[in-house]
Amino acid sequence: MNLDALPNMKDLTPEAIVQELDRYIIGQPRAKRAVAVALRNRQRRMKLPEALRAEVTPKNILMIGPTGVGKTEIARRIAKLAAAPFLKVEVTKFTQVGYVGRDVDSIIRDLMETAIHMVQDEREADVQTQAELRAQERILSYLTTPKTAREIAAELGLEPANTVESSSPLVTASAGRGRRAAGASAMALSAAAPHAAPARGETARIRNQRKKRIAEALANHLLEERIIEIELDPDDPIDSMLEYVTNISTDDTGEVISGFFTPPMIGNHRRTRRVSVRDARRLITREEAQKLIDMDQVVEEASRRAEGNGIVFLDEIDKIVGTKIDMGPDVAGEGVQRDLLPIVEGSTVTTRYGPIRTDHILWIAAGAFHKHKPSDLIPELQGRFPLRVELDSLSEADFRAILSQPEHALTRQYQQLLATEDVQLIFTDDALDAMARFACQMNDRQENIGARRLHTIIENVVEDLSFDAPKMAGQTVTIDAAFVEGRLGSIMANEDLSRYIL
């Protein structure tokens, strides 16, 4: 894959990558260093001779740590930074091949779908302007059918002032639905305009003038609520649905469809919808953008990205570790581990877009490993994750930093939310200390859910403010330690109550 296709990645050193992660994630320096080196090694690999490049495989990472300490967020942020196709899956939903449930090959199919959508969105953004122009023309054609055009002309007063030799300015104001967008002068012209001419006897010149004025109204967004009937391409093919639900390969899809569906059901018939002009613009623009891009090129580029730059995050991998059962197959435990081996090591998986090699996909597995140890994984799978990183449990100081330091810290989120109601919210330092202390205490007292506890704490603190905010416009509210104590003190003191609320 061409490094130039990855924005801002050519000059990102491991240190710079860690600094970027620090903007969003508190602590966990070892995990950040591990993923930064893995990302940098991808860039280094692309500079090697082609023969050697194929031999250099990613060093997959196993993250070990309790829930809520940043494992998933680190993987997600590193994928976003690298503009890489990213997929997060919980391994507990997979079963061994041949049993009811999803097999692990669907991971690669889902990753490929993610890559397709990523590249498709980029290509559609490149042709957005052209697609909008095409959509405007199509909507105009729906609006200027003879009957619809006369109705719009009568409703909006868009007929020419003189149908014989008219030189009057274009009229774009609304005269029947209360629109005032074009100003008083245009409304006066609109009031003076005669009613729409009857269909019989209309000349091409009159129809062209009417179309021109409707185009003006459309461009000025005066017809946004008008309901029109549009034609769209059919939804996704049935074969993609069958592949997702039943894992049927595309080679067999045709036979399945011919056996279960009649020809009219699988024809490429366009579908009609009655929608407003506003919604029609969005739907048709997307459809026209898809027509302007070359899907073969999209698939080719998506395949390169999935194979050479894809990142898969396997969450809860410790849940498929356990004591080997004496009787019957362990279809959701060791069986899944053995199925993971070939695709993590490197194999070819068939998707509806063609075969995908998994040799250079970066795999990041994560688990709390409370009841089991990483060494309880089958030895073959352990070897596929040579880098092991232990993440630290969050301290009170970490909670304090999470509330205020990240770029999108929780306190900033609530400040911005209430600012939409013209309420200014201020958190004092001692309020942050109090919320961090309560979160830490609750994690010690009950199940440790990490930073997720802060969401519960701060939501309880600002609950009344969020409810009453529409009546508090223009006010400034300061949340200090006393405010937090008043909201949470009694709950924390009641062991039974805090168990249910916090």
Query: Cα separations (Å) of 294 from 92, 198, 255, 300?
Result: 37, 46, 28, 10
Assign residue 89 the CATH number of its domain. 3.40.50.300
CA distance 305 to 118: 10
Structure tokens given for 128: 């957005």
Task: Let me know whether 420 and 496 are in one domain.
Answer: yes
The position carrying tokens 């994984």 is 377
On the question of pLDDT at 473 being above 50, the answer is yes
Structure tokens given for 285: 């623009």
Do residues 293 and 285 touch, judged by C-beta distance below 8 A? no
Reported as type and span, the H/E element at residue 390 is strand 387-390
Task: Let me know whether 45 and 75 are in one domain.
Answer: yes
pLDDT at 186: 35
Q: Which of 248, 269, 290 is the last residue of a domain?
A: 269
pLDDT at 301: 94
On the question of pLDDT at 350 being above 80, the answer is yes
Please, what's the largest Cα pairwise distance for the chain? 95
Within-domain flag for 289: no
pLDDT at 260: 47
Higher per-residue pLDDT: 101 or 171: 101
In this predicted structure, which of 72-76, 147-151, 356-360 has the lowest mean pLDDT?
147-151
Within-domain flag for 287: no
CA distance 404 to 316: 29
Q: What pLDDT, in 10s, does the model give residues 5-34?
A: 444 556 678 999 999 999 999 989 999 999
pLDDT at 224: 85
In this predicted structure, which of 142-146, 356-360, 379-383, 397-401 has the lowest mean pLDDT?
142-146
Q: By percentage, how much of the chain surpasses pLDDT 90? A: 34
On the question of pLDDT at 353 being above 80, the answer is yes
Q: What is the 3-state secondary structure (H, E, C) of 394-458?
A: CCHHHHHHHHHCCCCCHHHHHHHHHHCCCCEEEECHHHHHHHHHHHHHHHHHCCCCCCHHHHHHH
pLDDT at 376: 86
Higher per-residue pLDDT: 497 or 112: 112
Task: Let me know whether 121 and 40 are in one domain.
Answer: yes
pLDDT at 163: 41
Do residues 431 and 484 touch, judged by C-beta distance below 8 A? yes
Do residues 334 and 375 touch, judged by C-beta distance below 8 A? no
Q: Find the domain containing 400 and state its range.
A: 396-501
Higher per-residue pLDDT: 259 or 66: 66
Assign residue 458 the CATH number of its domain. 1.10.8.60
Higher per-residue pLDDT: 388 or 176: 388
On the question of pLDDT at 240 being above 70, the answer is no
Q: Which of 372, 390, 408 is the last residue of a domain?
A: 390
Instruction: Band the pLDDT of 87: cuts 50, 70, 90.
Output: very high
Structure tokens given for 246: 């039943």
Q: Which of 337, 372, 390 is the last residue of a domain?
A: 390
Within-domain flag for 166: yes
Q: What pLDDT, in 10s, does the model give residues 163-213?
A: 433 333 333 333 333 333 333 333 333 333 333 344 555 677 877 887 888
Nearest Cα to Cα of residue 65 among 419, 369, 379, 286: 369
On the question of pLDDT at 333 being above 80, the answer is no
Task: Let me know whether 42 and 139 are in one domain.
Answer: no
Instruction: Band the pLDDT of 235: cuts 50, 70, 90.
Output: low
Number of domains, the chain? 4
Within-domain flag for 279: no
What is the arithmetic mean of pLDDT over 471-475? Answer: 91
